[in-house]
Structure 1
Amino acid sequence: MGSYFIGVFLFALGIAATIALHELGHLLAARSFGMRVRRYFIGFGPTLWSTKKGHTEYGVAALPLGGFCDIAGMTAQEPLTPEEAPHAMVNKPWWQRIIVLSGGVLMNMLLGFVILYFIAVSSGIPNPYADRTPTVGEVACTSDQIDAETIDDCTGIGPAGKAGIKVGDRLLAIDGHEMETFMDLRDYVFTRPGEDVEILVERGGQQHTFTVTVDPVKRMNPRGEMVDAGAVGLANAPVVDAVKTFGPLEAVPATAKFTGMTLEATVEGLIKFPSKIPGVVASIFGAERDMEGPMSVVGASRTGGELVERSLWPVFWMLLAQLNFFLALFNIIPLPPLDGGHIAVVLYEKMRDFFRRLRGKPAGAPVNYDKLMPLTMTMATILLTIGVIVIVADVVNPIRLFG
């Protein structure tokens, strides 16, 4: 139990470091272009501690829900002293403003990459070069499920075997739907007991289509209820070199490729994020928690504790890397008060002025952020509400990796 709490503390510390480095990315970029940084804080709300060095106040605030880097003149409506004006962000070239606003995102991307690189050269990462085409490892009979861990005995080769599918066949599609993982096959036939499905496979470099009649069986759903389901009697073959350790040089392109795969999965997760919120709300009142649903800093820290308790340090660090990628991509969503919202404003001003020049007009005035305040406050309220909901769910019905 002691190692669990150590893991919780370490992951929470990792989250704090992630936030601090994100804001440090903004600070370093601003300083490099001569912008004035007034405040660099971790957290929001009442100040717990602060100190001032040069023109910048550094501090920690009471609510650990993020952080901020207060750069003078982020908007044209912000009051400036005569001494600050030459160093104000709004008075700098547009491309410098974009770089500064992207500084936190770039820092998180770099940090995530560095973490994955060290995992790649030490314990190994999921091999980005491995062939993960779902491949048949076993052709078996089908039978009813007895309990959560037991399937009834049976004999024969099952419907897939009778149709002609063999061990080693690579599964490409089912009823015209591409199969990326073996779970796609299982999920598809689960809801089609007694129906015929067309399975496209690759064997010896050639493609073949087999008509398989899905067997009706009894299976346990995620809520523990025994329901009518479908099965075809196929099991997946393990992926060869699924996890691989790389040398210091070859780890660079391998980590870059795996980073790309992780970012793609993160984007898919962000797209699905709004649809997951109702399930999180339901879990507060006793519904089963979605293992792929969103987690707060509380839930992520608890997961970190579970991983350390079982000495799964590579997974611990990989989770922290994924957190950095999520924070980076989430922050470039083009809505205020996120970094992407500020970037969108700068790009809008640039495009607007370009078309004004084409018409022989001078550059327009900077965007009035006061007019954006209703949208900003609405988005901030939504994000805060979602954050509170997920934190409550992580307290009363947390995601548990190990039951």
Structure 2
Amino acid sequence: MVNVLGVVLFALGIGISVALHEFGHLLTAKAFGMKVTRYFIGFGPKIWSFRRGETEYGLKVIPAGGFCEIVGMTALDEVAPEDAPRAFYRQKTWKRVIVLSAGSITHFILGLLIIYVAAISLGLPNTQNLPIAGEISQCAQATQDPVTGKYSPCTASDPAPAKAAGLQPGDRILSVAGKPTPTYNDMVTITRDAKGPTPFVVERDGRQLTLSVDVATVQRILDPTKPLGPNDKTGPVGAIGMSPSATISYGPIAAFGATGVFTGQMFGAVWDGLKALPTKIPALLTAIAGGQRDADAPVSVVGASLIGGQAADRGLWWFFVILLANLNFFVGVFNLLPLLPLDGGHIAVNLYERVRDAVRKWRGKPAGAPVDYVKLLPLTYLLVLLGGAYTLLAITADIVNPIKLG
């Protein structure tokens, strides 16, 4: 039931993002005095609408996007004489570029807000592997299976060093036995070599505390970097019964910096993902044919919603909201690519006209004619066909062989 709720909520989040995207176009167009005749969410037959002023607002049957209709988007559009001064193509280039980019900017703002709210509530992913305590276990399990990597269940005789010493979720371990621990792996490495009472310096609520942790000696895989297998050697190492925190929560002020850093990381990942899209087609075909689904393969909004449902079912709400923020960044960046019919393609055409006319003016010539969009239709149709085929491929893979959270 929670899974279904998560799918519905994620799909609703996507719908709100689309509505706000189009609202960005609407708001900026009206602010510059352009005439907006229709603002609809969805396509196909109309379900419901109302008119306020000169604009009709409404919903349509197919929830696969939306549109904001502005009078005179190109010089080829028919425009009533009384509307000509307010036509889109009659406005200054900088105004047109702002209106065209407003949808993507709205996605970026929405993504930033989502990340900031997550930072001060659910937390942001611990991408730097910082030594921050997550779950404090009931014990330091005595043994580890070398084949599966699983630990033995806790028994009454197993010690609980971290719990007994008073370590708490959210504590950041600064040093162990006097040795600094910049990462969680560093902390584990030092702890594995420790035995008995050991000083752990931790940071809690801005204060440093020194806790004496009675490190237990347990049986573990000696080389955890190797693949699991029956030939893995186990031996005595130190352990305290603690797992790392997957997320880090921030205060309202510190969250600004954390949001900026994490947003930069996400933009880098989005750009890398966009560049890799053509190379991911074989992975989608393999998934459709029944092969193993590549976790790095692209997903459609259907697949993203299914993953959101899984995250909700596991209580990973931080992952749910970060996924939604990532989707907003992806759509925002993708929409700015200089390809028609994307907004970025229209921006490129408008900037081309501006630069061309500036060069012509410098050479003493009059402004050139508006770009003939009819001549660009073959390329536009080709890109729509390729994009539609890719989307259909991703949706099919998401339905027959969806990505499952590990």
Whether the TM-score (by the shorter chain) exceeds 0.5 is yes
- The CA distance in 1 between the partners of 2:352 and 2:330, in whole Å, is 25
Partner of residue 284 from structure 2, selected from 280, 286, 292:
280
The structural deviation recorded for 1:90 is 0.2
Aligned ranges for residues 3-402 of structure 1 at < 5 Å?
3-126=2-125, 130=128, 243-402=247-406
- The CA distance in 2 between the partners of 1:370 and 1:324, in whole Å, is 31
- The CA distance in 2 between the partners of 1:397 and 1:242, in whole Å, is 27
- The CA distance in 2 between the partners of 1:3 and 1:127, in whole Å, is 25
The structural deviation recorded for 1:246 is 1.7
Distance change (3 Å), C-alpha of 1:278 and 1:168 = farther
Deviations 1:149-173 (A, max 9, x none): 58xxxxxxxxxxxxxxxx99999xx
- The CA distance in 2 between the partners of 1:4 and 1:241, in whole Å, is 24
- Give the residue type in structure 2 aligned to 1:318: I
The structural deviation recorded for 1:371 is 0.8
- Give the residue type in structure 1 aligned to 2:96: R
Q: Which runs of 5+ in 1 are unaligned?
A: 133-144, 151-166, 172-180, 182-214, 221-225, 227-237
- Give the residue type in structure 2 aligned to 1:391: I
- Give the residue type in structure 2 aligned to 1:401: L
Deviations 1:129-156 (A, max 9, x none): x578xxxxxxxxxxxx986658xxxxxx
Deviations 1:54-87 (A, max 9, x none): 2222222233222211111111111111222111
- The CA distance in 1 between the partners of 2:102 and 2:14, in whole Å, is 18
Distance change (3 Å), C-alpha of 1:5 and 1:292 = same
TM-score when normalising by structure 1 = 0.72
- Give the residue type in structure 1 aligned to 2:313: E
The percent identity for this pair of structures is 48
- The CA distance in 1 between the partners of 2:124 and 2:252, in whole Å, is 13
- Give the residue type in structure 2 aligned to 1:373: L
- The CA distance in 2 between the partners of 1:58 and 1:116, in whole Å, is 30
Q: Which runs of 5+ in 2 are unaligned?
A: 131-144, 151-178, 186-222, 230-241
What secondary structure sits across from 2:296 in the alignment? coil
Distance change (3 Å), C-alpha of 1:354 and 1:245 = same
- The CA distance in 2 between the partners of 1:125 and 1:274, in whole Å, is 30
**Do the aligned residues in 2 keep the contact of 1:334 with 1:341 (CA within 8 Å)?**
yes
TM-score when normalising by structure 2 = 0.71
What secondary structure sits across from 1:83 in the alignment? helix
What secondary structure sits across from 2:81 in the alignment? coil
Question: Which shows bigger deviation, 304-313 or 240-249?
Answer: 240-249
The structural deviation recorded for 1:17 is 0.4
- The CA distance in 1 between the partners of 2:148 and 2:47, in whole Å, is 50
- The CA distance in 2 between the partners of 1:58 and 1:277, in whole Å, is 38
Question: Which shows bigger deviation, 71-80 or 35-44?
Answer: 35-44
- Give the residue type in structure 1 aligned to 2:64: L
Distance change (3 Å), C-alpha of 1:56 and 1:324 = same
The aligned length equals: 316
Deviations 1:9-43 (A, max 9, x none): 10000000011111111111111101111221222
The structural deviation recorded for 1:242 is 7.0
Deviations 1:365-396 (A, max 9, x none): 11111111111111111111111111111111
